[in-house]
A = this chain, B = another copy of it.
Amino acid sequence: MSVLEIARAVRAPRTAATAAGEVVLPLDTILQRDCIGAMRELPAASIDMIFADPPYNLQLGGDLNRPDGSHVDAVTDAWDKFDSLDAYDRFTRAWLAEAKRILKPNGTIWVIGSYHNIFKVGAAIQDLGYWILNDIIWRKANPMPNFKGTRFTNAHETLIWASMGEKARYTFNYRSMKTLNDELQMRSDWEFPICGGAERLKKDGHKVHPTQKPEALLYRILLACTKPGDVVLDPFFGTGTTGAVARRLGRRWIGIERESPYVAAAKERIAAALPLDESALTTMQSPKAAPRVAFGTIVETGMLVPGAVLMDAKRKYRVTVRADGSLLSDCGQVGSIHKLGASLQNAPACNGWTFWHYEAEGALKPIDALRQTYLLATQP
């Protein structure tokens, strides 16, 4: 039985359409298969984002005990065992290559790892022609101490964010991130507690998955780098953190996971995750998203009259508005609001909307205020 047959068939959103017509993707579904095999049956160029939390290939020695004698419950599962560093390398390159095939040209991939595997992963990402956009540090607020006092406390994990190539476009909701970070640019180091408390899935008092990731981490990633309705694939789904957050944020998701106990836990968990309503999902938009307004339109509609005088905030430069929306300076120079602003300042570029001001009731206001007024009056 193929992936597409066992999947709950859902018509893909328009963004998943290809030249061949509409594509059917197993949306909001867990494919209980091995990761590479399942990806192979997904159509090419159909996924907006991949978030991957692959096996870390931890090479742990014997048991580890805390100073008080208690036993540390380490990651000893079979899925984290590889015969050699070379075997891990081959596995990594195989799934990353498959991921590249199914990502859309403007898609991106996120991979999380620790020093045990992240360098192999990053090198493979570069060799496969992905283009790294950032590496992100998850600084753990409450990491496990180094009980033996032999090294620095391993207090972070590393994520790599990459696009499909050097020239590829990608989604980055800059304004959302800046807003989320109290009006400062979001940096490459993020602090979150490790996953615990009520969020940590448990069964019979034991954690269901040894490396469950905090939802806050996925929340930030999906908010930053996807749009509502985008399709997010997690090829190492585990207990479904990606699916739960995707559902909450109004994104579509596909999970791949081989182990039945994880699949069962993920299904139950995602069903309980309530989607945020649309108003809560609305995020700060970049001005880029607003339709373009030509300065000439402001003149045409009479918001500024030909002959009106504009000046910069310090009243250093004065120019006159002409009927076609061009500006004329005292010294006879002519140009668009941007070009003339740049030329007068001898700068490489200039945003005329914020540089030029008009006088209203004795005060100077940027002409961008007129553009905002125009947009408010004309937008639905």
Interface residues of A (CB under 8 A from B): 63, 65, 69, 71, 85, 114-116, 118-123, 125-127, 132-137, 139, 143, 145-146, 149-156, 158, 160-161, 172, 174, 177-178, 185-189, 224, 286, 345, 347-350
Let me know if B139 and A115 touch, CB within 8 A. no
Q: A65-B349, A69-B349, A348-B65 are in contact. Are A188 and B122 (CB under 8 A)?
A: no
Let me know if A160 and B349 touch, CB within 8 A. no
Let me know if A137 and B139 touch, CB within 8 A. yes
Cα separation A303 to B45 with both chains bound (whole Å): 58
Let me know if A150 and B172 touch, CB within 8 A. yes
Some 26 contacts from A to B, beta carbons below 8 A apart, are A69-B345, A69-B347, A69-B349, A71-B348, A115-B135, A118-B119, A118-B122, A119-B120, A119-B125, A120-B123, A122-B122, A134-B151, A134-B152, A135-B158, A145-B185, A146-B185, A149-B174, A149-B178, A152-B185, A152-B187, A152-B188, A152-B224, A153-B188, A155-B189, A156-B187, A156-B188
Q: What residues on B are CB-neighbors of A115 within 8 Å?
A: 122, 132, 134-135, 160
Q: How many copies of this chain sit in the oligomeric assembly?
A: 2
Cα separation A224 to B146 with both chains bound (whole Å): 15
Chain B residue at smallest Cβ distance from A154: B188
Cα separation A156 to B158 with both chains bound (whole Å): 11
Let me know if A348 and B187 touch, CB within 8 A. no
